[in-house]
């Protein structure tokens, strides 16, 4: 498969096997500038910024993916199949669906429920449950414990619709779903199909229970606990 791709301007070898995937390209830039050394920007196509550098001597990349499962599906597919990425870690924000999950806390997505039809392309003869890679999950939980970072592990909802007029989020918590975001299920499906590792970790930016929320600037620049956990996996 040839590189660059239509969406990523890097050549083969420019991107590390372990890659962080924030939805916001400015969060990718923030991570590169504040956590990595020897940074090289490998992508600016569509302003979806991508960087490779070193974290504590280990090579790691960070790539913006945009919003929604179609965008995550596109970028994760190219990163896996064109660039050889083996460990794909979404670092995103989410809305809490239960009262016990608060602003600023981290949710590790053990599984990712969805109302999306993304899974239909795989033509499976039943209902598929997208789940995280256990190794990445276990190491992330161990790191969070070592730093006394408040975290939760459980199911999240990867929603297709942000402004949903039918308010479906009242039903998912009854099945133990902790938070809602928009990308994890596509990442988990692409990773499973390609036999690579994936994990979604989310900082709670707002609550559908209390109505609390953070600013866009805070989402870009202040979720540093999550960033450090993800980088520890390099």
Question: Average pLDDT, whole number, for the chain?
Answer: 96
What's residue 3's pLDDT? 95
Averaged pLDDT, 167-196: 94
What's residue 169's pLDDT? 76
For residues 1 and 69, the answer to whether their CB atoms sit within 8 Å is no
Catalytic residue among 24, 100, 135, 206: 206
Averaged pLDDT, 11-34: 97
Smallest Cα–Cα separation from 15: which of 92, 88, 90, 73?
88
Residue 215 has pLDDT above 70, yes or no: yes
Task: Classify the C-alpha dihedral 15-21-24-29 as positive or negative.
Answer: negative
Q: What is the pLDDT of residues 88-115, one digit of tens each?
A: 999 999 999 999 999 999 999 999 999 9
What's residue 218's pLDDT? 80
Residue 131 has pLDDT above 90, yes or no: yes
Residue 222 has pLDDT above 80, yes or no: no
The residues near 35 (Cβ < 8 Å, ≥ 6 apart) are 55, 227, 228, 231
Residue 132 has pLDDT above 90, yes or no: yes
CA distance 150 to 127: 32
Region of poorest pLDDT, from 11-20, 131-140, 207-216 = 207-216
Q: Establish whether 100 is a catalytic residue.
A: no
Averaged pLDDT, 23-32: 97
CA distance 175 to 173: 5
Residue 133 has pLDDT above 80, yes or no: yes
Q: Which domains does the chain have, with CATH numbers?
A: 18-231 (3.40.50.1580)
Q: What is the pLDDT of residues 45-77, one digit of tens each?
A: 999 999 999 999 999 999 999 999 999 999 999
Averaged pLDDT, 217-222: 78
Q: What is the pLDDT of residues 136-179, one digit of tens each?
A: 999 999 999 999 999 999 999 999 999 988 876 789 999 999 99
What's residue 168's pLDDT? 67
């Amino acid at each position: 498969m040839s590189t660059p791709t239509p969406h990523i301007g890097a050549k083969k070898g420019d991107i590390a096997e372990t890659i962080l995937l924030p939805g916001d390209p400015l969060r990718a830039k923030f991570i590169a500038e504040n956590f990595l050394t020897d940074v090289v920007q490998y992508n600016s196509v569509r302003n979806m910024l991508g960087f490779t550098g070193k974290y504590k001597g280990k090579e790691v990349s960070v790539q913006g993916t945009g919003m929604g499962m179609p965008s995550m599906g596109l970028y994760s597919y190219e990163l896996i199949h064109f660039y050889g990425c083996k460990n794909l870690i979404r670092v995103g924000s989410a809305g809490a669906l239960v009262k016990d999950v608060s602003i600023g806390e981290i949710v590790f997505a053990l599984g990712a429920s969805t109302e999306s039809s993304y899974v239909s392309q795989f033509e499976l003869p039943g209902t598929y449950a997208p789940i995280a890679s256990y190794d990445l999950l276990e190491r992330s939980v161990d790191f969070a414990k070592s730093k006394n970072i408040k975290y939760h592990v459980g199911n999240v909802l990867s929603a297709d619709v942000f402004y949903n007029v039918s308010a479906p989020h009242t039903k998912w918590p009854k099945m133990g779903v902790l938070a809602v975001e928009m990308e994890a299920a596509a990442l988990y499906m692409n990773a499973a199909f390609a036999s690579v590792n994936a994990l979604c970790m989310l900082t709670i930016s707002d609550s559908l229970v209390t109505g609390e929320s953070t600013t866009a600037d805070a989402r870009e620049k202040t979720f540093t606990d999550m960033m450090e956990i993800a980088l520890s996996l390099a």
